[in-house]
């Protein structure tokens, strides 16, 4: 008889809110921690307009991601580029959940430091992703 598997490590706590860091990698790590904590409200809040730019309601967003049970998130090296007053940061992302692997990219965006930009426009937020949970 095989020994039982050790229990899965408890998820790390999700951040209290998306960080306003100038470092996009720090924002991605916080987003990954929210995914690993399965805090779908917080995961959605990383999108622009505090989640509204995800294009779906909180309930629908949570339903899309709820199939992940023990997700582990890893990121590759991202690339930055500027365009029309904004900065974009694209990074490869892999979410491993048991034997399931979801790979894609996430694009973060923030407005350059322009006069009149709001804190929401200046924070790194998810603009788009190719991940299909």
Q: Is the pLDDT of residue 14 over 80?
A: no
The answer to whether residue 19 sits within a structural domain is: no
CATH of the domain at 86: 3.10.450.100
The answer to whether residue 34 sits within a structural domain is: yes
The answer to whether residue 115 sits within a structural domain is: yes
Q: What is the mean pLDDT of the chain?
A: 89
Q: Which domain holds residue 115?
A: 24-129
* Integer Cα distance of 128 and 109 in angstroms: 9
The answer to whether residue 58 sits within a structural domain is: yes
Task: Give the pLDDT of residue 61.
Answer: 97
- pLDDT category of residue 97 using cuts at 50, 70 and 90: very high
Q: Structure pTM? A: 0.84
CA dist list (Å): 23 to 1, 28, 71: 50, 9, 23
Residue 34 buriedness (CB in 10 A; 0-12 / 13-18 / 19+): buried
pLDDT in tens, 73-85: 999 999 999 988 8
The answer to whether residue 9 sits within a structural domain is: no
* Integer Cα distance of 31 and 24 in angstroms: 10
């Amino acid at each position: 008889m095989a020994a039982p598997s050790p229990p899965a490590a408890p998820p790390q706590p999700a951040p209290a809110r998306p960080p306003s860091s100038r470092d996009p990698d720090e924002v991605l790590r916080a987003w990954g921690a929210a995914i690993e904590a399965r805090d779908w409200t917080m995961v959605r809040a990383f999108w622009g307009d505090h989640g509204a730019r995800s294009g779906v309601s909180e309930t629908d967003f949570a339903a899309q991601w709820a199939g992940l049970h023990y997700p582990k998130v890893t990121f590759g090296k991202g690339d930055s580029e500027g365009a029309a007053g904004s900065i974009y940061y694209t990074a490869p992302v892999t979410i491993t959940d048991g034997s399931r692997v979801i790979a894609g990219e996430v694009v973060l965006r923030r407005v350059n430091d322009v006069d009149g930009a709001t804190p929401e426009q200046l924070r790194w937020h998810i603009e788009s992703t190719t991940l299909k949970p």
